[in-house]
Amino acid sequence: MPSLSGQSSARSMPSVLEPLYTEALRRNPGEPEFHQALGEVLESLGPVLAARPELLEARVLERIVEPERQIIFRVPWQDDFGATRVNRGFRVEFNSALGPYKGGLRFHPSVDLGIVKFLGFEQIFKNALTGLGIGGGKGGSDFDPRGRSDAEVMRFCQSFMTELHRHLGEHTDVPAGDIGVGGREIGYLFGQYRRITNRWEAGVLTGKGVGWGGSPGRTEATGYGNVLFAAEMLKRRGEGLEGRQVVVSGSGNVAVHSIEKAQALGAHVVTVSDSAGYVVDEKGIDLELLKQVKEIERGRVGDYAERRGTSARYVRGGSVWDVPADVALPSATQNELDADAARTLVRNGVKAVSEGANMPTTPEAVRILRAAGVSFGPGKAANAGGVATSALEMQQNAGRVRWEFAEVEERLAAVMRDIHDTAYETAERYGAPGDYVVGANIAGFERVADAMIAQGVV
């Protein structure tokens, strides 16, 4: 079987796993993102399965690729004109061997069962890498909050939670935000959960407002964590972020806080993007202006360029990866960095690519980057800072305490260093030095597999 993840031209699916993968494709038709995520993990597992045949005998893989529960439901709501709208809601509770299901909710027109399953499958291993005792799940809806009033978003969230609440609980399933689900949406969702259940169960959702059970640093965590992971990769190369030119894709929460942390560490960040195009700012991104445009006015990156002045130019369409950089941080959405983009980055001398989004790099692009000696941080490791801080929020909720921002940031930095070192050392132990994809996949898999075996056939 040809390589799917493309991590190196010599690697392919272990023959013992080909029937499992083929059966998974048959049972999950029309879900290419899930197929891609599944293939990328399975390709990495040859060394651990050779060393630990008991994992095959226990049929751990057959169990881990099948979600424990898949929930699909109707979400009816009324718009501001009184018209009834109907969307579809999803929650895939993938694996709870290490703790309650944990993973975000995504509100975007592209959301379907395959997208949610790909995200949930990735979340299993990402959460395992944090070492914080949380299982993997994901959810969302094909509802698009863009252009909707606060009242419409509230009515949708209330209808969504009216169905979903019966499947949640701080010891069962704890959602957070993702694309299209920020502090506003989490607030409406939590309010409806509290209204229905008559319980102040703060630990049932993370990403809450700091004044009512949220954690300082949660908003920043995914972007900050991604930059910290990139810095650790550069450190292993004997290099650093200071003075490096950085390109960032996207302009949402992850992108904004990736820029913020990279600038704090002395990097020169020159790009942001959205679905219509990208901006190159030779002076470096003006973070306060970007936050004003994106977070307050909910505008487009073209608006940023118009107000920034002569240092910034807006490029409609095109590829943000055409801009030369030492470090690339794809922080928008899945499969945004393709093979052509990878070749361009390599030609322009990129040293490290760290995934702020979930699976933003295509399999062929990953192969190209690794073959060129680029340090590549897969999303399940590099963007785990968000879910790690969600787990820290759950800890604070359980003790009814709130830590200061500096303490949360310090704990986040420690978690990201540990994830980096675990992935790096696991890759070395299994004969793939410097391959963070192999290291992250095997380390996360072993933690989940060991727990599953210990708990019996469930």
Cα separation values, 183 from 16, 188, 208, 275, 295, Å: 45, 9, 6, 22, 11
State the virtual CA torsion across 339, 345, 348, 354 in degrees, nearest 10: -160
- Given the residues 117, 138, 351, 380, select the one marked as catalytic: 138
Phi-psi region of 71 (alpha: psi -120 to 50; beta: other; left: phi over 0): beta
Q: Of 448, 438, 457, 455, nearest to 41 (Cα)?
A: 438
**CA 175/CA 203 separation, integer angstroms:** 10
138 in active site: yes
Token pair for residue 125?
A: 């291993």
Hey, how many other C-beta atoms are within 10 angstroms of the C-beta on 112? Answer: 16
**CA 313/CA 301 separation, integer angstroms:** 10
Task: Supply the DSSP symbol for 107.
Answer: E
**CA 239/CA 232 separation, integer angstroms:** 9
Task: Supply the DSSP symbol for 7.
Answer: S
Task: Supply the DSSP symbol for 295.
Answer: I
User: How do 375-377 and 84-95 pair as beta strands?
Assistant: unpaired
**CA 129/CA 267 separation, integer angstroms:** 27
Active-site residue set = 138
